[in-house]
Structure 1
């Protein structure tokens, strides 16, 4: 592994530090869910090298490995806390959640640990392997619609019958944000112990915005209000970026949610995410699906940790030396390695091949029809949206790829990614 551990020789382990560093951290640990674990924070020498240039060799990148949580993603921090509270305080016997994969896996895991029934509703675009992982936790898995928003409709209907307190939103609830904020408590504990420097910037992927909210709440609690967050999405799941564009909370049309990063694929971030983004230094950044997938493959080579494309989006900002990161000129960067439930080496390689077929140098004359029926030349990265050219891929009734490893001859058009 091309990294050095954040624990110095003779220093106490992170778990000991977290218990002894400050009363603030002690208080938060009393509130946090017992269902998640403190995860490693490692310095990545490989990522350091990418961002270090001649005359600027002091850049250091730290990876917070929440993909190593028992449920496979950061989601168990907030989901575990929320589920524990409704079960223990409200007597809930049935937990219901709609999910792009990670939240559902975490609710299923929490339900198994807490001894209650769980029902998870997924969109049809979630791979069979992910459904089976959730079922293995003992959950009842249902499928509805092609994006999370449609799956959520059925989940809410079930919760109305079974008990509203059992409905677990995947990203929009104060308990979730409080749980996710513990990621900063752990980083701060290592900082106060002299094991890591204070970060200048934190990279995190944004779907519904729950992780970003938790990070901001944690930063405020420890007095790090000046730490910049680079909020990363793909071009085909840019719900937060759309809010910045409009300077208000907005909701994308379903046809605009085209990314293969299904755990980012929501039509809108929650309103609290936009409010937090306005009041804290947050920089939106977008990468292509292909860049996200290739970042996953590079990271598994560099650090031997397998992550999904939604997580790879944040790593792609480093691997691609994204202009927003370069302009920030940060010296100490933390990348939240948020999860890896919905992927495998095979699926990443299949996605890479399929997306590469869409993104090589395109003929200058290639044009595409946009939603306003105008035509534009397409010289840059692309995402799949509709069906009028002759590039092969698998599509669903939402015109997004379902299982790219099983390509068909269904034709597609290309959407420019500005």
Structure 2
């Protein structure tokens, strides 16, 4: 993981670490929404693609994502001169689709209800000889995402502050959460998901992987719509005693509005759920709590609808 952070330091500056107060407690916010492509996914994508062999780079990569991993892979691929094909849901936010295309990737759309993105990506990879770059079920991806925790610990040390004892983070497939658990092993990990899409929370509670229940409710957290987590991320989080909880659309929108009003930050719904959990009182801040603001790629219409602005 230290290798992943070292590689990232050569191409992008650290994302900001902000201090604020919630319910009388001082907390720190790691603003991954200010990555060049708007989300933490750049970390894992860069770590994975830079470890490809020369032959693998020539054959290109295939990824599947609702948008942030797509942009991370596309950004890294363009910088490295690698051809990237991204399988994206047809109902992905327009901003994420447009940004992925603008970064030079070929986008192939699919129906997230009736088609399997993994099967489509595997078929394309076989036809073209490309390397599949999963969004979370991959050791390089987990290591890369975890570099956010190592970076935050270093920033805290520069401020004369101790490492976090609790990290509250958004969770879809669990790549970021698992990376944080490995990168900051002394911290308690609290994962946050949208209501009805809290499969990692329920998996951790039951001790075994369970998928999203049939007919889940609509959610604006497109980045967190994972139907079932992977053994890799689940096992890491379970072994670290991670706990989970879920937040509502209203609570998520309130967090987006709070971040805009108090921090001048634009967060996407999925990037605001960890903050939402604290603001809604679903988990308490300790003296050393770190909250991850994971992404800011949101359409104007969605932002207005969620925040009331």
- Normalization by structure 1: what TM-score? 0.69
Unaligned runs of 5+ in 1: 1-23, 53-58, 354-418
Deviation at 1:184, TM superposition (A): 1.9
2:78 corresponds to which of 112, 124, 128: 112
In 2: Cα distance, 1:293 partner to 1:347 partner: 10
RMSD: 2.3
Question: Is the partner of 1:237 in helix, strand or coil?
Answer: coil
Q: Within the alignment, does 1:275 sit opposite 2:275 as a pair?
A: no
Paired residues for 1:48-63 under 5 Å: 48=21, 50-52=22-24, 59-63=25-29
Structure 2 equivalent of residue 21 of structure 1:
none
> Per the alignment, do residues 281 and 89 of structure 1 end up closer, same or farther by CA in structure 2, a change over 3 Å counting?
farther
Question: Is the partner of 1:236 in helix, strand or coil?
Answer: coil
Q: Within the alignment, does 1:174 sit opposite 2:139 as a pair?
A: yes
Structure 1 equivalent of residue 200 of structure 2:
240
2:216 corresponds to which of 256, 259, 283: 256
Paired residues for 1:283-302 under 5 Å: 283-302=243-262
Deviation at 1:281, TM superposition (A): 3.3
Paired residues for 1:136-175 under 5 Å: 136-146=102-112, 150-164=116-130, 166-175=131-140
Moved more, 208-217 or 252-261: 252-261
Deviation at 1:194, TM superposition (A): 4.3
8 Å CA contact retained: 1:35, 1:80: no
Deviation at 1:87, TM superposition (A): 5.1
Q: Within the alignment, does 1:71 sit opposite 2:47 as a pair?
A: no
Which 4+ stretches in 1 moved above 3 angstroms?
Answer: 27-37, 87-93, 191-195
Q: Which deviations, in whole Å up to 9, do the C-alpha atoms of 1:379-414 show, x marking residues without a partner?
A: xxxxxxxxxxxxxxxxxxxxxxxxxxxxxxxxxxxx
Q: Within the alignment, does 1:316 sit opposite 2:276 as a pair?
A: yes
> Per the alignment, do residues 74 and 148 of structure 1 end up closer, same or farther by CA in structure 2, a change over 3 Å counting?
farther
Structure 1 equivalent of residue 172 of structure 2:
207
8 Å CA contact retained: 1:125, 1:262: no
Greater RCO (Cα-Cα under 8 Å, separation 6 or more): 2
Structure 2 equivalent of residue 334 of structure 1:
290
> Per the alignment, do residues 114 and 146 of structure 1 end up closer, same or farther by CA in structure 2, a change over 3 Å counting?
same
8 Å CA contact retained: 1:122, 1:148: no
Structure 1 equivalent of residue 16 of structure 2:
40
8 Å CA contact retained: 2:247, 2:277: yes
2:163 corresponds to which of 190, 195, 198: 198
> Per the alignment, do residues 234 and 301 of structure 1 end up closer, same or farther by CA in structure 2, a change over 3 Å counting?
same
Structure 2 equivalent of residue 55 of structure 1:
none
Q: Which has the larger radius of gyration?
A: 1
In 1: Cα distance, 2:58 partner to 2:249 partner: 39
> Per the alignment, do residues 28 and 351 of structure 1 end up closer, same or farther by CA in structure 2, a change over 3 Å counting?
closer
Structure 2 equivalent of residue 265 of structure 1:
225
8 Å CA contact retained: 1:254, 1:267: no
In 2: Cα distance, 1:302 partner to 1:148 partner: 41
> Per the alignment, do residues 35 and 198 of structure 1 end up closer, same or farther by CA in structure 2, a change over 3 Å counting?
same
> Per the alignment, do residues 189 and 248 of structure 1 end up closer, same or farther by CA in structure 2, a change over 3 Å counting?
same
Q: Which deviations, in whole Å up to 9, do the C-alpha atoms of 1:177-210 show, x marking residues without a partner?
A: 1111211221222343343332221110000000
In 2: Cα distance, 1:202 partner to 1:178 partner: 17
8 Å CA contact retained: 1:99, 1:152: no
Question: Is the partner of 2:133 in helix, strand or coil?
Answer: coil
8 Å CA contact retained: 1:296, 1:309: yes
- Normalization by structure 2: what TM-score? 0.91
Paired residues for 1:114-129 under 5 Å: 114-129=80-95
> Per the alignment, do residues 214 and 257 of structure 1 end up closer, same or farther by CA in structure 2, a change over 3 Å counting?
farther
In 2: Cα distance, 1:307 partner to 1:115 partner: 30
Aligned length: 308
Moved more, 306-315 or 242-251: 242-251
Q: Which deviations, in whole Å up to 9, do the C-alpha atoms of 1:259-286 show, x marking residues without a partner?
A: 2211100111111222122221312111
Unaligned runs of 5+ in 2: none
Paired residues for 1:388-399 under 5 Å: none
8 Å CA contact retained: 2:57, 2:82: no
